């Protein structure tokens, strides 16, 4: 079996899919994308495809080495995301060729269902009570929200109180038997994160995410020491090497993205590394169906797994949503806030190829907003 062709599809709302086909007709899908830089990742996939065409698709480990290291320059979001999508597609092919789900190839299932959470509140959190109530009624046992929208790095007493009040409102709807995770999105300074974390302690967050920007990972240890709130990070880290300082600092939750951090191959290794630090895995996934399917395959076979993000109904999914390109929505039919394990081969989903091709004809040009502070200077989004 040889890799015969590799195609990419730029599809709304902000995704990029890749399709690898072998000479005997096996097809695997991956999702190589950086949100807002999809066209750049598409070019990287095209360059990496030159090497893969004609190769045996089942030599996944060796291909990962060559794609990641063989160009001499390595790392970063573009290359690691291009490799990630190709890696997902190769695992999909391996599962389909052998007639087993990917989690079997990763050592077999360690759980039968995977807890998932839903987003509430959008970029600028508002009207939270209604949204949380709707997710509770839909069966979710956990939600995630942004701590603040556009914000000063050091907040006023009123702004700090507004963060705490929003989380308190969410906690009130959730009660003590469900969880809220709070994403700081790197919008606060480390000092402000410390102050806000202190205020949030009584509200018992599941975790607080990106308390500082990834380039300030050297400040994580101080925050870990300063708060009993479990700290999470990782959506902007791309390899074991990137995760090592954060894990050494004592983060409780590692959040690699299956579409950014080298795919299934590297995320399983990041999970094992996290396990040696007693950290739990909660893969980042505000993306599309292939990234989620890959995340779930890892979740089903990873002992130190906590919870899975998923994008159904997320504020970005306007022109298309998680189920738009699937033949069968069953793998993502969540009950009691959980995704259920199936024995479907490969990644366990079937793409509607006609819908994908049609969507690619219009494509998208999604960009994240560029925010500015009241004085006109750049603000973290
Ligand atoms: Mg985040």
DSSP symbols for 120-146? -S-SS--SHHHHHHHHHHTT-SEEEEE
Question: Hey, what are 333's tokens?
Answer: 């039919």
CA of 179 to the centre of ligand 1 (A): 16
Phi, psi of 189 (to 5 degrees): -70, 165
Asked whether residue 125 carries a pLDDT value surpassing 80, the answer given is no
Give the per-residue pLDDT at 103: 98
Question: 303: CA distance to ligand 1 center in Å?
Answer: 23
163-185 burial, b at 16+ Cβ within 10 Å, e below that, comes to bbebbeebbebbeeebbbbbbbb
Contacts of 372 (CB under 8 A, 6+ apart): 378, 379
CA–centroid distance, 234 to ligand 1, in Å, is 8
Paired residues of 195 in beta bridges = none
Q: Which two tokens stand for residue 140?
A: 């979710």
Q: Provide the β-strand partners of residue 308.
A: 116
The fraction of the chain above a pLDDT of 70, given in percent, is 100
Q: What are the pLDDT digits (tens) for 303-352? A: 999 999 999 988 888 899 999 999 999 999 999 999 999 999 999 999 99
Centre of ligand 1 to C-alpha 236, Å, is: 9
* Dist CA 259 CA 297 (whole Å): 13
Peptide bond into 183 cis (omega under 30): no
Centre of ligand 1 from the C-alpha of residue 233, in Å:
8
* Reported confidence tier of residue 273, pLDDT bands at 50, 70, 90: very high
Please give the distance, rounded to the nearest whole angstrom, from the Cα atom of residue 316 to the centre of ligand 1. 13
Q: Is 117 in contact with 131 (CB distance < 8 Å)? A: no
Residues 6+ apart with CB under 8 A from 326: 289, 332, 349, 350, 351, 352
Residue 190's Cβ-side half-sphere holds a number of Cα atoms within 13 Å equal to 14
> Looking at the predicted structure, is the pLDDT value of residue 244 above 90?
yes
- Concatenating the DSSP letter of every residue in 163-202 gives HHHHHHHHHHHH-TTSEEEEE-TT-S-HHHHHHHHHHHGG
- Determine the distance separating the centroid of ligand 1 and the alpha carbon of 210, expressed in angstroms: 7
* 264 three-state secondary structure: helix
Q: What are 134-144's pLDDT values in tens digits?
A: 999 999 999 99
Domains of the chain: 3-100 (3.30.390.10), 104-347 (3.20.20.120)
Condensed to tens digits (0 to 9), the pLDDT of residues 175-193 reads: 999 999 999 999 999 999 9
Which pLDDT belongs to residue 318? 87
Angle of helix 240-249 versus helix 263-276 axis, rounded to 10: 20
Mean residue pLDDT across the chain:
97
Look at the block and give the residue holding tokens 């709302």.
13
Ligand 1 centroid from CA 376, angstroms: 25
- Output DSSP code: residue 52: H
Distance CA 114, CA 297 (A): 10
pLDDT score recorded for residue 155: 96
Structure tokens at 157: 């007493």
Which residues belong to the active site? 185, 284
* 122: pLDDT strictly greater than 90: no
Q: Measured in angstroms, how far is the CA atom of residue 22 from the centroid of ligand 1?
A: 36
Residue 379: what pLDDT? 96
pTM: 0.97
Residues 17-62 have pLDDT tens digits of 999 999 999 999 999 999 999 999 999 999 999 999 999 999 999 9
């Amino acid at each position: 079996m040889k890799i015969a062709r590799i195609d990419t599809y730029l599809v709304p709302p902000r995704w990029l899919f890749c399709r690898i086909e072998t000479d005997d007709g096996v097809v695997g899908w991956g999702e190589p994308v950086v949100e807002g830089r999809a066209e750049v990742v598409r070019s990287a996939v095209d360059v990496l495809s030159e090497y893969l065409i004609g190769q045996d698709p089942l030599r996944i480990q060796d291909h990962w080495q060559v794609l990641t290291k063989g160009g001499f320059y390595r790392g970063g979001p573009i290359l690691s995301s291009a490799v990630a999508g190709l890696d997902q597609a190769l695992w999909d092919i391996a599962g389909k060729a052998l007639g087993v789900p990917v989690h079997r190839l990763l050592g077999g299932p360690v759980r039968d269902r995977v807890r998932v959470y839903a987003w509430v509140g959008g970029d600028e959190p508002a009207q939270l009570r209604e949204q949380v109530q709707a997710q509770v009624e839909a069966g979710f046992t956990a939600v995630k929200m942004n701590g603040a929208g556009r914000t000063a790095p050091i907040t006023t007493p009123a702004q700090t109180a507004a963060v705490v009040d929003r989380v308190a409102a969410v906690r009130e709807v959730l009660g003590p038997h469900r969880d809220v995770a709070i994403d700081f999105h790197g919008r606060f300074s480390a000092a402000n994160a410390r102050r806000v974390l202190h205020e949030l302690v009584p509200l018992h967050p599941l975790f607080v995410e990106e308390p500082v920007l990834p380039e300030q990972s050297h400040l994580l240890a101080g925050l870990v020491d300063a708060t009993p709130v479990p700290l999470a990070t990782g959506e902007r880290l791309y390899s074991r090497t990137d995760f090592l300082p954060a894990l050494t600092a004592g983060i409780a939750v590692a959040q690699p993205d299956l579409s950014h951090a080298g795919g299934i191959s590297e995320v399983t290794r990041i999970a094992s590394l996290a396990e040696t630090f007693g950290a739990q895995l909660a893969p980042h996934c505000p993306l599309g169906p292939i990234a989620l399917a890959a995340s779930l395959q890892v979740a089903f076979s990873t002992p130190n797994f906590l919870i899975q993000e998923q994008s159904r109904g997320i504020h970005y999914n306007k022109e298309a949503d998680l189920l738009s390109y699937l033949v069968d929505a069953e793998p993502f039919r969540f009950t009691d806030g959980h995704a259920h394990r199936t024995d479907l081969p490969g990644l366990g989903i079937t793409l509607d190829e006609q819908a994908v091709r049609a969507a690619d004809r219009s494509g998208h040009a999604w960009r994240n907003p560029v925010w500015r502070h009241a004085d006109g200077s750049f603000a973290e989004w």
